[in-house]
Amino acid sequence: MRKYVIMGVQGSGKGTQSQLLAAELDLVHISVGDIFRWNVQNHTKIGALVRRTMAAGELVGDDLVESVVRERLTQHDWNFGFIIDGFPRNRPQAEFFLESYDIDGVIVLDLPDSEVRRRVLNRRVCPNCGINYNLIDSSPKVAGQCDSCGGELVTREDDTEEALAVRLRDYHEKTNPVIELFRRKEYVLMVDARPAPEAVQEQIRKSLSPPPFEPEKKESAGA
């Protein structure tokens, strides 16, 4: 059973890399952003609570986020483990998480801010299957249509200059310190997120294998 966290700035490819790794290792991919987007699309109570916050690029309140994560993780459909994406994003969320779950590794996708804008502002998403496209590097075969299901591609409401600025600010102020916190307690694996998706995935798999890998913390456990 493997439990991974994947972190990285907006557009670093957390969703894409999580899906690839989940398929390979039979993990359940849990994306907090996707859960919220599903709720918005389906007009649920949670959707009504988070819609404006998300569109503005702001963080949803910790209590709501934590209850959504807790509820998702109590559905025991993750026999082989999970990879969680978009959580934790700040110190309180990280503390909540570390109290409840032991993590096998934290994958950090490293991408410079200059590249973030280029990727995020050119991103299109399939609302049916969640596949991300980029109009520059990975445009769909037929313009505006998902290669996999034919769904009509959309731009995320928070992929605007304005909302991106807010998201990036929060990332640097609140999420980056979480990486430092993990570095002290967990196995943190930094991966260069600039190459093509397949190459990034290869890096991740190389660093995670051969199983079972030894988290760094075990080295000093005997002392």
Binding site for Zn ion (CB under 5 A): 126, 128-129, 146, 148-149, 151
From the list Zn ion, ligand ADP, none, pick the one residue 73 interacts with, judged by a Cβ distance below 5 to 8 Å according to partner type: none
Instruction: Name which of 17, 23, 22 is nearest 194 in CA terms.
Output: 17
- Of the pair 123, 167, the CB lying nearest Zn ion is at 123
Instruction: Tell me which amino acid residue 198 is.
Output: E
Tell me which of ligand ADP, Zn ion, none is bound by residue 201, counting a contact when its beta carbon lies within the kind-specific cut-off of 5 to 8 angstroms.
none
Q: How far apart are CA 71 and CA 69, in angstroms?
A: 5
> CA Rg, the chain, in Å?
17
Cβ nearer to ligand ADP, comparing 160 with 216: 160
Q: Tokens standing for 4? A: 């991974």
* Residue 86, binding choice from ligand ADP, Zn ion, none, Cβ under 5 to 8 Å by partner class: ligand ADP
Q: Which is nearer to Zn ion, 87 or 133 (CB)?
A: 133
Q: How far is CA 2 from the centre of its chain?
A: 16
Catalytic residue among 51, 91, 117, 156: 156
Q: Which H or E run contains 65? A: helix 62-74
Q: Give the active site residue among 14, 72, 119, 124.
A: 14
- Residue 4 beta carbon to Zn ion: minimum distance, rounded to whole angstroms: 25
Cα separation, 174 vs 196, in Å, equals 28
